[in-house]
């Protein structure tokens, strides 16, 4: 039972354009969401997070949008740069209890120069 | 920033041997550490949650006698894969939370590639 899904396994975007990565979840109890970037054979690097009390959080080129009614979040990267090419994972968490993360399946982003 | 290290980064062992992987938080105290494994082109799957000074909590389907976790101090957790078999070959990643500073984010180590021959 995959509680967090990223339905697009891969995405290609031209440099300078916007990259939009999507994530859906099934458990309405999740109240904290994060995006991580990962290169092969390395650990994930934290990018941006959002609490369920918000619907948008912005940090530089990265913006995360949360639609609780649709159980959907998205990561916007603008403008996209070749260095953004990596696998992006969304994660969902409960802030009560252990704070453990449930990761999505990942989306491989390729930014073309 | 919060730095987490793992050692070794890569290990190759024979079937039936045990392998220990260390996870250290270098500049903060981690009351909680997490162990994940990742198969090629798949997601990170949580194996267990490790709390300092207490027994680890394992996720469903993870054999606690096979994957021994010890969190003896606020900066060190170890994962021992006992009697390793080829199907245990995977990328193992730890993470840690800095609860004292109140960060919600987990900080991840660089991972350990285990290959069992």
What does the alpha-carbon distance between residue B57 and residue B73 come to, in Å, rounded to a whole number?
17
What does the alpha-carbon distance between residue B31 and residue B75 come to, in Å, rounded to a whole number?
8
Given A49, A98, A104, which is nearest B105 (Cβ)? A49
Write out chain A residues lying below 8 Å of B96, CB-based.
none
User: What is the pLDDT at residue B4?
Assistant: 93
User: Any chain A CB within 8 A of the CB of B89?
Assistant: no
User: Are residues A19 and A79 in contact, defined by beta-carbon separation less than 8 angstroms?
Assistant: no
Half-sphere exposure (Cβ direction) of B79: Cα atoms closer than 13 Å: 32
The rounded percent of chain B whose pLDDT value lies above 70 is 97
Q: In the predicted model, is pLDDT for residue A96 greater than 90?
A: no
Confidence of residue B102 (pLDDT cuts 50, 70, 90): low
Cβ distance of A98 and B57 shorter than 8 Å: yes
Q: What is the pLDDT of residues B32-55, one digit of tens each?
A: 899 999 988 788 999 999 888 888
**Six token digits for residue B17:** 């041997």
């Amino acid at each position: 039972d995959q509680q967090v899904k990223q339905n697009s396994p891969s995405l290609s975007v031209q440099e300078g354009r916007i990259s939009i990565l999507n994530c859906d979840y099934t458990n309405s109890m999740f109240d904290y969401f994060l995006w991580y970037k990962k290169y092969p054979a390395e650990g994930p690097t934290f990018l941006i997070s959002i609490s369920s009390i918000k619907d948008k959080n912005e940090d530089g080129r990265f913006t995360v949008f949360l639609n609780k009614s649709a159980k959907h979040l998205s990561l916007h990267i603008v403008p996209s740069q070749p260095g953004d090419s990596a696998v992006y994972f969304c994660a969902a968490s409960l802030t009560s209890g252990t704070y453990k993360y449930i990761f999505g399946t990942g989306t491989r982003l390729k930014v073309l120069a | 920033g919060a730095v987490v290290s793992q050692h070794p980064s890569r290990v190759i062992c024979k079937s039936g041997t045990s392998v220990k992987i260390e996870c250290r938080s270098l500049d903060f105290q981690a009351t909680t550490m997490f162990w994940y494994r990742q198969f090629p082109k798949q997601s990170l799957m949580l194996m267990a949650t490790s709390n300092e000074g207490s027994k680890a909590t394992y996720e469903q389907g993870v054999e606690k006698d096979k994957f021994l976790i010890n969190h003896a101090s606020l900066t060190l957790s170890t994962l021992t894969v006992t009697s390793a078999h080829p199907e245990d070959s995977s990328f193992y990643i730890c993470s840690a939370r800095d609860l004292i500073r109140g960060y919600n984010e987990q900080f991840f180590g660089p991972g350990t590639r285990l290959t069992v021959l």
